[in-house]
Amino acid sequence: MHVDLFLVPGPVNEERLNGKTLVLVDVLRASTTVCRSLTSGAKAVIPVERLDEAAELRAKLGPQDTILGGERRGIKIDNFDLGNSPFEYTEERVGSKTVILTTSNGTRGYTKANPTNLIITCGLVNVSRVARKVAETGKDLAILCAGEEGDFSIEDTLCGGMLIHKLKEVEKIELKLNDAASLALLLYRSNSDTLKRTIANGEHGRYLAEIGFASDVEAASDVDSIPVLPILKDRRIVLEES
Amino acid sequence: MHVDLFLVPGPVNEERLNGKTLVLVDVLRASTTVCRSLTSGAKAVIPVERLDEAAELRAKLGPQDTILGGERRGIKIDNFDLGNSPFEYTEERVGSKTVILTTSNGTRGYTKANPTNLIITCGLVNVSRVARKVAETGKDLAILCAGEEGDFSIEDTLCGGMLIHKLKEVEKIELKLNDAASLALLLYRSNSDTLKRTIANGEHGRYLAEIGFASDVEAASDVDSIPVLPILKDRRIVLEES
């Protein structure tokens, strides 16, 4: 299996993704929030890029059936129901509703991909579940790290590296890695015993702690704590039917 | 000393570079070609972004006093005197002339910086010399990796990591690293005994070998083989007067 990892979204184009399984990684916090929403009983999460799209979609789907969530620079958007803290996405708030989510980095990758790809949302909270699915499909893999404002993000790269590690060591798949995938695997292996600390000490981890979200950073670093498989279907992220 | 490394040029903006020493890294091959040109007696190398700029500048400076060099996708540009192979930049070709150089990735960083910064060209061929200069200035440091078509490049990241290693271990400076700088240092340390092999096996190293430039890859990986200090002065790269 060929594994191409992209440290930043910039250089990704459709051609480089054709025919592959796509894994989208935004540990802090979109991937984690998606996993949390779906386990809290949300019918789907619809990722959108722009605020006006989010508002339009809500009007179309009906305000009573939808929850508007998201952030810019980590902070909840004015007039939105929820921010991007996974803890906000409880059964009471999102159960049986459709979550419309727009975040600074993590929701953008969903629009780049060709809808014929299998597109999986991956955080540390569900990384082993994702590895199992990738192994089952057997197709070549592209891991898209959301990064931070066009820059690389250490937690997304760690998560991508951990996914690769699981594919190799647990799923026993022979892999052919691109340069960035090798780097991510190296980063993971060098930090496998100190994941939580490395992420908390990273640039975005520190920033989120400063604005009051240290517990989100902790929760998002909790490996395999929400072992679900969110996949994109008709532009909506839903749990895979088992 | 704060050291911020940028794996890709995308997220760099002037604000993040203010007051810092800037080190521009493009191992394959712009940095290496600049070092080679200046030791071959070129008066200066003028980095330009676009082909039309290069032609205009040549007309202005006079064709007899200039050499037009550069590449796109690794290949010499039509009607240019030279490509981007350091071996072409001999005393016979460039001695006492001004080289106008435009490359896919490496010459672009020069236009991003505020001219008040000290801006140094760094490859593996002159990395220890650069470390010494950065240590002398004592200012905070930004390392800009040229990368490859907007993507990260393993050889530039290795070179940045080696520069950081030299600052720590040889120049004995206490450093405060951003996440990408830590990653680059980890990458260097994990590959310090196999630098040439790692670079030759990297994506861009393999590509250059395929199009006939394996010896350039080898030469560009030869640590401290051209121990000069190219700095930007009035938009021209010249050797620092000693």
A:133-162 residues touching chain B, CB 8 A cutoff:
149-154, 157
Note down the domain range covering A48: 2-239
A:87-126 residues touching chain B, CB 8 A cutoff:
none
Q: What angle do CA A227, A231, A236 make, to 5 degrees?
A: 125
CB atoms within 10 A of CB A64: 6
ipTM over 0.85: yes
Poorest-confidence range of A84-98, B7-21, B222-236? B7-21
Residue A105 main-chain phi, psi, to 5 deg: -125, -45
Q: Is residue B180 in some structural domain?
A: yes
Partnered with residue A102 across adjacent β-strands are: A70
Q: Are B164 and B3 in contact (CB under 8 A)?
A: yes
Q: Is residue B177 in some structural domain?
A: yes
Q: Which residue has the tokens 């070092």?
A: B35
pLDDT tens for each residue of A36-55:
999 999 999 999 989 999 99
Q: Are A143 and A177 in contact (CB under 8 A)?
A: no
Rounded distance, CA B59 to CA B42, Å? 18
Chain A hits for B202, CB-CB cut-off 8 Å, are 179
Cross-chain CB nearest to A154 (options B150, B157, B179): B179
Q: Is residue B13 in some structural domain?
A: yes
Q: Does residue B108 have a cis bond before it (omega within 30 degrees)?
A: no
* Burial status of residue A139 (CB atoms within 10 A of its CB: 0-12, 13-18, 19 or more): middle
* CA–CA min distance B35, chain A (Å): 26
Q: Which two tokens stand for residue A129?
A: 């579940």
> In the structure, what pLDDT confidence band is assigned to residue B116 with cuts at 50, 70 and 90?
confident
Rounded distance, CA A192 to CA B138, Å? 34
At position B151, the amino acid (one-letter code) is D
Q: Is residue B214 in some structural domain?
A: yes
End-to-end CA distance of chain B: 24
At position B38, the amino acid (one-letter code) is L
End-to-end CA distance of chain A: 24
Tell me if A152 and B183 make a contact (CB, 8 A cut-off).
yes
Q: Which two tokens stand for residue A56?
A: 């339009």
**Which is nearest to A147 in space by CA: A108, A99, A173?**
A108
* The total number of structural domains that make up chain A: 1
Q: Which two tokens stand for residue B177?
A: 């690293």
* CA–CA min distance A203, chain B (Å): 7
What DSSP element (H or E) covers A189? helix A179-191
Q: Which two tokens stand for residue A136?
A: 């089952």
Q: Where are the beta strands (DSSP E) in chain B?
A: 2-6, 21-25, 44-47, 66-72, 75-76, 98-102, 119-122, 141-145, 176-177, 230-233, 236-239
Classified as helix, coil or strand, B81 is coil
Mean pLDDT of A22-35: 96
pLDDT tens for each residue of A154-163:
999 999 999 9
Which one of A179, A187, A206 would you mutate to disrupt binding with B, by most B Cβ within 10 Å of its Cβ? A179
Residues in Cβ contact with B33 at an 8 Å cutoff, skipping those fewer than 6 apart: B45, B69, B84, B85, B86, B89, B101, B103
Rounded distance, CA A222 to CA A229, Å? 16
Spell out the long-range contacts of A82-86 with Cβ–Cβ below 8 A and sequence spacing 24 or more. A84/A29, A84/A30, A84/A33, A85/A29, A85/A33, A85/A213, A85/A216, A86/A29, A86/A32, A86/A33, A86/A35, A86/A36, A86/A216, A86/A219, A86/A220
Classified as helix, coil or strand, A202 is coil
What DSSP element (H or E) covers A76? strand A75-76
Q: Is residue B242 in some structural domain?
A: no
Report field, pTM of the whole predicted structure over 0.90:
yes
DSSP-derived letter for residue A193 is: T
Q: Which residue has the tokens 């999986």?
A: A120
CATH number of the structural domain spanning residue A135:
3.90.1560.10
Residue A105 scores a pLDDT above 90: no
Rounded distance, CA B77 to CA B55, Å? 12
Helix (H) and strand (E) counts in chain B = 9, 11
Mean pLDDT of B74-103: 95
pLDDT tens for each residue of B131-153:
999 999 999 999 999 998 888 99
Poorest-confidence range of A9-18, A95-104, B78-87? A9-18
